[in-house]
Chain A
Amino acid sequence: MTKPIALAIKWVLIAAAMVGILWIATRLAAAGNTMAVVIAGLVGMGILAVYATRRAVPLKYLVPGLLFMTLFQVWPVLYTANLSLTNYGDGHLYSKEDSVKDIIAQSVREVPNTPRYKMSIATAEGGDATTADLVLLLTKPDGTMYLGDKTGLKPLAATGVEKTSIGKITKAPGYTVLNARQANARSKDLSAIAVPTSDGGGVKPVGLSEAFEGRATVTFDAGADKLTDTSTQPPSVYAPKDARWVNVADTTQSFPQGWKENVGLANYSRILTDDTIRSGFLKIFIWNVVFAIVSVLSTFLLGMLIALLFNDPKLRGKGIYRSLLILPYALPGFVTALVWKGMFNQDYGIINQTLGLGIDWLGTDLGAKAAILITNLWLGFPYMFIVCTGALQSIPQDVREAATIDGANAFRTLRSIIMPLLLVAVGPLLLASFAFNFNNFGLIYLLTKGGPFNGQDTSIGSSDLLITYAYRLAFSGSAPNYGFAAAVSVVIFLLVALMSIPGFRRTKALEEVN
């Protein structure tokens, strides 16, 4: 029988999970995301069904892992894949209706030769400051006063009116002047106010104490789905094209505000048909694989050799050496990469100066690649050193002794006993390291930015990885195109996944040594 305390803990945890889900659901509901609320509810019911009953014992162990995997692995992948089917990016963030609203709002211009008014915001006396209709109490530069509401401007009698020295009305009979906080609370209503004037403009507030006469120069014809801009002569007409409002007469002109829409597989077909992508892809891909493999092997070999060295029981002061060796790993990689960049400088770098070389490390193909591999070796070997040290210490001493007794020399012991046992432990980490280096954006970006760029354009650099290349591809236009970037990410994800499958098969083979 279950002990009462364990039972109590179980129910407290279940209750806590329910409260947590309820809290998340309310937040989601507040954000107006119905679908997510439903999913949160289903997850909650699932947790109850699994943990509150005696059934489904295996699930009791699997559910937390499944939940987190969905949340942090499956969901981002699906989200990215979904994003890759849209044109989401700068200038395409909101809906078409929003773009129309914004374009019209931004087109309001001051009507030439109209006065600036000093303004106070008020309601009719006795009105509720939070809901009553707003009126503007206006003073022209010449001192005449007006009352502005949605019907138009009306003269305001001077009797009983109090003004500040600059002409802002502070008191008017029949009206209650709102204070700054009250007026600010009505910001939404204020932005909608346009007191109509005889010449077709509207008096609109600027902040809390000034008003100007403005007119929107752009109008929207919902029936024809067209925008007309009257600020040019003749007026220009804009029609929707490629998720933007494009000038019908001159298609090079368009409003900067576009909208988000689904583009289907257009991003993927662009990857497949783009000339620079096709011509450069293989070259980049080969260097990317070479970079990842050499990085993993070089860091692993150096890390392992040092680990073997420091695993010698006769060595004194191991703690100090080990701590020192971990330092490159402990320093932020960004800083280290930048320091190395300085050291590789052709004229002023310490490497060329000490060795008396004149190598243009960062300006030539081979130099840049060598510089990247050297820097990555420096950055990466401490990690391998740590994991190898750990793995070595877990290899039982008696196995080695047995090998020695059987007459194996040190090299033979290493090759036939230590290495296989080490690889069992370290193998998956090598794979992870491969995947990490395959997408090592930061290193390349900080050291060479993908350069040097040979030939006449900057779309393909000789030290580019797929990820830095994709970054430049997606963000080299006028505006970042997240949809396209997502499509490239999905392609890279598939490539890494395909390459990792044989790797994981191989680690399984290693495990059978045990």
Chain B
Amino acid sequence: MHKRALGAAAVTGVAALALSACGGSSPTTPSDTGGAGTSKATSSGVPETPSGTAAPVRDANVDLVIWTDADRSKAVQKYADQFASENGVSVKVQIATDTRTQFKDATKVGKGPDVIVGAHDWLGELVQNSTVAPVNLSSDVAAKFLPNAIAATKFNGQSYGVPYAVENIGLMYNKDLVPNPPKTMDELVATGEKLVKEGKAKQVLSQFVSKVGNAYFAYPYLSAFPDGGIFATKDNGDYDPNKLLVNSAGSVKGGDILADLGKKKVLSTNVDDTNQDALFDTKKAPFMISGPWSVAKAKEAGINYGIAPLPSLTGGGAMKPFLGVQMFYVSSKAKNAALAQEFVTNYIPRKDVQLALFEVGKRPPALKEAYDEVSASDPDVKAWYEAGVDGKPMPNIPAMNSVWGPFGQATADIIAGKAGAKERLDAAAKEIAANIAKG
């Protein structure tokens, strides 16, 4: 009985989707790998696709095995081929449908890949299970990345990979209904309610709440207040699982806002992953709080959308979203550790590689130089980046697994008016602490 994958994906809802970066990004068809795959050592220029959802089977005859999701596979393959011909080795890129779980399970029995592509919040769990190896980037290379992206690759002060993209949620608005994005939540509600009254919209804001709540989307309401959030940080920058902020004074203020918005029907537990995008894309809601994964659908629906930072809340500051960082990990049980380290430390920090990965994912690149180039020509990327510029990386400590369920449910109950913010967040904090204590 292995439902871990289902659990992780379902509990974190869209957050998990977003972080595994398969959250509805458009089925891109990058140009063919061209002549890069002509090296004799490389057996093929196309990523190996899995049959069904089973984990890929490791090919024992190649010198480097990389697991990635389907979206990124073509871009990774191109540079894997280049790496292969440059070093006279063979590299195989394989598509894993659920990299997090499949990597952990395969590594346990000695059949795992050498390199995986994944989200930074897997890190604590991977370290806990001794599945990833430290990746020692030199300080001058590390300085070329966005500081938040580098911070996200660290756990207990050790660095475990090379980042390539950053993503976060922001405010999407329908330019046909709202010419200028609101700066504050009050302004957003006033504008939205006016549109609803005029019959131009049915719902003020579309935000994933659902009956069981969504911690990822509720967090920014808490982080808008000083000392509001989930975990406090230690001196070394790591989140401290023993210092919960879920029921701090700031968090409760954020909770009061959730309650108020719930009462006004701006937030509703009836909006969830199944209808969030549809509400915005059918012009029923002029505003949506979502991430880059929603853009393709809005474009397809012909919505004249704009992207703005999350609004600020009365009595607090701007809502600060969680940052999700995409990165390359090296397996601690890698059969080809030397080549794996070489590929990750020398190839992924390259601008052209980061740009290629941007093309397939459309998330702001983690390498400053690549971000600068992309943001100059792509206003969406710039807007997403700016929406997340004050955000903090999502906690990558294993204790975060204890937070998603209880914290999400608490916010859903507050929005539904089932309980007051203070008492409900107190109860959630108690439950989370008990879960963390279970280990």
- A: residues with CB less than 8 A from B are 90-91, 93-94, 98-99, 102, 105-110, 116, 121, 179-181, 183-184, 186-188, 190-191, 205-210, 212, 214, 231, 242, 244, 252, 256-258, 338, 341-342, 345-348, 362-363, 441, 445, 448-449, 451-453, 456-459, 471-472, 475-481, 485, 489
Contacts of A471 in B (CB 8 A): 3, 7
Give the contacts of B407-429 with A (CB-CB under 8 A). 409, 413, 416, 419, 423-424, 427-428
Answer whether residue B388 sits at the interface, using C-beta atoms and an 8 A cutoff.
no
B409 partner, pick from A181, A441, A458, beta carbons under 8 A: A458
Q: What 1/0 flags go to B260-304 for Cβ under 8 Å of A? A: 000000001111101100010000000000000000000000000
A212 to B129 CA separation, bound complex (whole angstroms): 26
- 18 A-B pairs in the complex with CB atoms less than 8 angstroms apart: A90-B129, A106-B127, A179-B88, A180-B88, A180-B342, A184-B64, A184-B338, A187-B334, A187-B335, A191-B337, A205-B338, A207-B346, A348-B275, A363-B211, A456-B428, A458-B405, A476-B406, A477-B438
Residue tally, chain B, CB below 8 Å to A: 74
A209-B346, A348-B275 in contact; A242/B341 too (CB < 8 A)? no
Contact of A485 among B1, B212, B274 (CB under 8 A): B1
Q: What are the 5 A-B residue pairs with the smallest beta carbon separation, nearest first?
A: A207-B342, A456-B427, A207-B341, A477-B438, A180-B87
Q: Which of B63, B130, B268, B345 has the most CB of A within 10 A?
A: B130
Q: Is A187 touching B337 in the complex (CB atoms < 8 A)?
A: yes
Docked complex: B26-82 residues within 8 A CB-CB of A: 63-64
Contacts of B241 in A (CB 8 A): 478
B339 A212 Cβ-Cβ under 8 A: no
> Least Cβ distance of B206 to chain A in Å?
11
User: Is B106's beta carbon under 8 Å from chain A?
Assistant: no
Asked if B246 is at the interface (CB within 8 A of a chain A CB), the reply is no
Besides the known contacts A90-B129, A456-B423, A479-B401, 6 further A-B residue pairs in the complex with CB atoms under 8 A apart: A91-B128, A106-B133, A106-B134, A207-B338, A341-B274, A476-B435
In the complex, how many angstroms separate the beta carbon of A217 from the nearest chain B beta carbon?
Answer: 9
Q: Contact check: which of B242, B406, B428, B430 meets A252 at CB < 8 Å?
A: B242
Q: Tell me whether A457 and B427 are in contact in the complex, defined as CB-CB below 8 angstroms, given that A181-B89, A207-B338, A479-B439 are known contacts.
A: yes
By beta carbon, the residue of chain A nearest B4 is A480
Question: Per-residue CB proximity of B378-398 to A under 8 Å, as 1/0?
Answer: 000000000000000000001
Q: Which of B139, B345, B416 contacts A210 (CB 8 A)?
A: B345
Number of A-B contacts (CB under 8 A): 194
Q: Looking at the assembled complex, report how far the CB atom of B411 sits from the nearest CB atom of chain A, in whole angstroms.
A: 12
The reply to whether the CB of B136 lies closer than 8 angstroms to some CB of chain A is yes
Q: Is the CB of B157 within 8 A of A231?
A: yes
With contacts A257-B130, A456-B424, A478-B241 taken as known, whether A187 is within 8 angstroms of B136 at the C-beta atoms is no
CB–CB A362/B211 < 8 A: yes
- Helix, strand, loop or mixed for chain B's interface? helix
Q: In the complex the two chains form, is A348's CB within 8 Å of B346's CB?
A: no
Give B153 Cβ to nearest chain A Cβ, in Å: 14
Q: Tell whether B108 is near chain A: CB-to-CB under 8 Å.
A: yes
- The smallest beta-carbon distance between A458 and chain B, in angstroms, is 4
Contact at B63–A184, with CB atoms within 8 Å?
A: yes
B143 contacts the other chain (CB 8 A):
no
Is the Cβ of B128 less than 8 Å from the Cβ of A479? yes
For chain B residues 240-260, which have a beta carbon within 8 Å of chain A?
Answer: 241-242
With A and B bound together, what is the CA distance between A457 and B407 in angstroms? 9
Does A478 contact B436, Cβ atoms closer than 8 Å? yes
Scoring A105, A179, A180 by chain B CB atoms within 10 A of each residue's CB, the highest score goes to A180
User: Of residues 122 to 147 in B, which have CB atoms within 8 Å of A's CB atoms?
Assistant: 124-125, 127-130, 133-136, 138-139
Residues of B contacting A345 in the complex (Cβ-Cβ under 8 angstroms): 270, 272, 274-275
Q: What is the minimal beta-carbon distance from A97 to any residue of chain B, in angstroms?
A: 12
Known interface pairs A207-B342, A479-B398; A108-B134 also in contact (CB < 8 Å): yes
The reply on B359 being an interface residue by CB < 8 A is no
CB–CB B127/A257 < 8 A: yes
Question: Does B127 contact A184, Cβ atoms closer than 8 Å?
Answer: no
B336 at the interface (CB under 8 A from A): yes
Q: How far is the CA of A341 from the CA of B274 in the complex (A)?
A: 9
| Chain A residue contacts of B339, Cβ below 8 A | 180, 184, 187, 207-208
- Interface: B376 (CB within 8 A): no
Cβ–Cβ < 8 Å partners of B139 in chain A: 110
Other-chain contact of B10, A90, A206, A445, A480 (Cβ < 8 Å): A445
**CA–CA, A437 and B416, complex, Å:** 31
CA distance A176 to B212 in the complex (A): 63
B314 at interface by CB-CB < 8 Å: no
Q: Are A475 and B4 in contact (CB under 8 A)?
A: yes
CB distance B275 to A475 under 8 Å?
Answer: no
- Whole-angstrom distance between the Cβ of A257 and the nearest chain B Cβ: 6
Q: Is the beta-carbon distance between B211 and A452 smaller than 8 angstroms?
A: yes
- Nearest Cβ in chain A — how far from B22, in angstroms? 17
Please give, as numbers and ranges, the residues of chain A lying within 8 Å of B128 by CB-CB distance.
Answer: 90-91, 256-258, 479
B289 to chain A, nearest CB (A): 18
Please, which residue of chain B has its CB at the minimum distance from the CB of A450?
A: B212
Q: How far is the CB of B427 from chain A (nearest CB, A)?
A: 3
**B345 contact set on A, CB distance < 8 A:** 206-207, 210
Residue among B87, B423, B436 with most chain A CB within 10 A: B87
How far is B332's CA from A191's CA once the two chains are assembled, in angstroms? Answer: 11
**B431 on the A face (CB < 8 A):** yes
State in angstroms the CA–CA spacing of A214 and B158 once bound together. Answer: 12
Chain B residues with CB below 8 A from A188, complex form: 337
CB distance from B288 to the nearest CB of A (A): 15
Closest B residue by C-beta to A471: B3
Q: Closest B residue to A484 by CB, please name it.
A: B438
Complex contacts, B337 vs chain A, CB 8 Å: 187-188, 190-191
Nearest chain B CB to A189's CB is how many angstroms away? 10
User: Which of A94, A207, A258 has most B Cβ within 10 Å?
Assistant: A207
CB distance from A134 to the nearest CB of B (A): 11
A116 CA / B409 CA spacing, docked (Å): 49
Nearest Cβ in chain A — how far from B304, in angstroms?
Answer: 23
- Closest beta carbon of chain B to A111's beta carbon, Å: 12
CB-CB contacts of B317-340 with A at 8 A, as 1s and 0s? 000000000000000101111111
Bound complex: CA of A202 vs CA of B21, how far in Å? Answer: 38
Known: A181-B89, A452-B211. A90 touches B269 (CB 8 A): no
A441: chain B residues within 8 A (beta carbon): 3
Q: How far is the CB of B383 from chain A (nearest CB, A)?
A: 28
Q: How far in angstroms is the closest Cβ of chain A from B2?
A: 9
- Contact A477 B401, CB 8 Å, known A190-B337, A210-B138: yes
Question: In the assembly, what is the distance between CA of A342 and CA of B345, in Å?
Answer: 46
Is A190 in contact with B338, judged by CB distance below 8 angstroms? Answer: yes
Contact of A102 among B130, B136, B211, B435 (CB under 8 A): B130
Shortest Cβ distance from A95 into chain B, in angstroms? 11
Whole-angstrom CA separation of A225 from B409 in the bound complex: 43
Residues in B with CB closer than 8 Å to A187 are: 334-339
Pair B402/A478 contact, Cβ less than 8 Å = yes
CA distance in complex: A231, B64 (Å): 34
- CB-defined interface of B153-174 with A at 8 Å, one 1/0 digit per residue? 0001110000000000000000
Per the bound structure, the CA–CA distance linking A180 and B343 in Å amounts to 11
Which of A109, A244, A449, A475 lies in contact with B212, CB distance below 8 A?
A: A449
Q: Do the beta carbons of B431 and A206 come within 8 Å of each other?
A: no
Tell whether, in the assembled complex, residue B127 and residue A256 are in contact, meaning their CB atoms are under 8 Å apart. Answer: yes
Q: How far is the CB of B66 from chain A (nearest CB, A)?
A: 14
B336 to chain A: which residues have CB within 8 Å? 184, 187
B211 touches which one: A106, A179, A210, A451 (CB < 8 A)? Answer: A451
Instruction: Select which of A214, A346, A458 is within 8 A of B270 by beta carbon.
Output: A346
Q: Which A residues lie within 8 Å of B87 (CB)? A: 179-181, 208
Question: B399 interface residue, CB < 8 Å from A?
Answer: yes
> In angstroms, how far is the closest chain A Cβ from the Cβ of B341?
4
* Interface contact A109-B127, CB-CB below 8 Å: no
Shortest beta-carbon distance from B196 to chain A in Å: 13
Inter-chain CA distance A106–B342, complex, in Å, is 18
List B107-130 residues whose CB lies under 8 Å from chain A.
Answer: 108, 124-125, 127-130
